Structure 1
């Protein structure tokens, strides 16, 4: 049962966008890793889908082939920095089994024979390992990967749409901080999630931590916020006149 301050927003968004569900696809781990790696700071619909189609045609989901590809080959897919960095990200992911002791001295993780063995770990453990192993992989992309491939519906990929909408609806303070890799790779959001790993010092001022009250609906709620934020409640030019939440929204009320 959701707290009342969150329940009304979740129920309202679910009425606007009925039928939204979260697909869980552990067998597509490589494909999801590629897509979330490419989706950093760019439009998924405009660019990422196009890049993914080209990568599927050339490499399918073969991370080894991507890791060994030349920069010239990858430039044929696209010239963005996301594509240029994909080679290093694939290499880093594949190296996790051989680097596990270095990456997880504070975690009680058994040896891994493949990067796909990450799926056998607790989601919180896999999150720490991925953030530590992959230089360019941040909290949002990591949480998206785990939300899509693990049984972890409580994982919340925090993006600009979620931050903006949560603040405008009065669910969080506008000054609430986004998750930071330097902290997310060292700490957890709640006491007792992983034995021996301390709670983040920014636990009371972080968007992800504050919205963990959503529990198993966290990832679903973020998806609703992404849909609404990208189409109606835009960061720079919110379309309040078209918004079904305008009667309850403080921003819409202040705009008349």
Structure 2
């Protein structure tokens, strides 16, 4: 679990709610279902309109990365690549075909297939770098649905505020209805600005950081595969890959 993500979200909420209480306000005054429906429904409607279904679905699926980011076991991966280089030096590249069949990662399986097929090292790098770039672009496009949500939410909040004020103006002759309209107006703005700056935009940045880390892991694995294709010494390969660990 990414503790700092949970702590950051809780700290932001506690700061806002705590400030409300210190000013003598009530938590109940921040709970407005109508404002919530306007801001959340309007924001996600706008995001869905701008996004292809596949990108939108992928972005939603990636939400779990904020709390539980994918953390590849770098030491295990390096040890695995080094063991492949040792096998290749002793028994030849074709012996890695058995290892390839049990490899769950399609990216690594593809790279190993090129290696076993005897493709030139630079050609392997060229093919796999295209694969890395395509994957990175796809993942970052998916993460940007949250960046888009952070852009739309404040504006939708303002729409909610204007709608609340319209309701107030329509009921000036009935003071009993003024309070609800004014509450929706101001709380909608809080929901819009708050959700954008406390949730949506930070989520987008966190997801993009995770994607960058996963791209670095793929670069590391590619370096290892290319080094095996060159026939480099396993100790040199291990030393080179260790440089990716921060």
TM-score (norm 1): 0.23
Structure with more of its chain in helix, by fraction: 2
Q: Rg bigger for which structure?
A: 2
Larger RCO (CA within 8 A; separation ≥ 6) = 2
Q: TM-score, normalised by structure 2?
A: 0.24
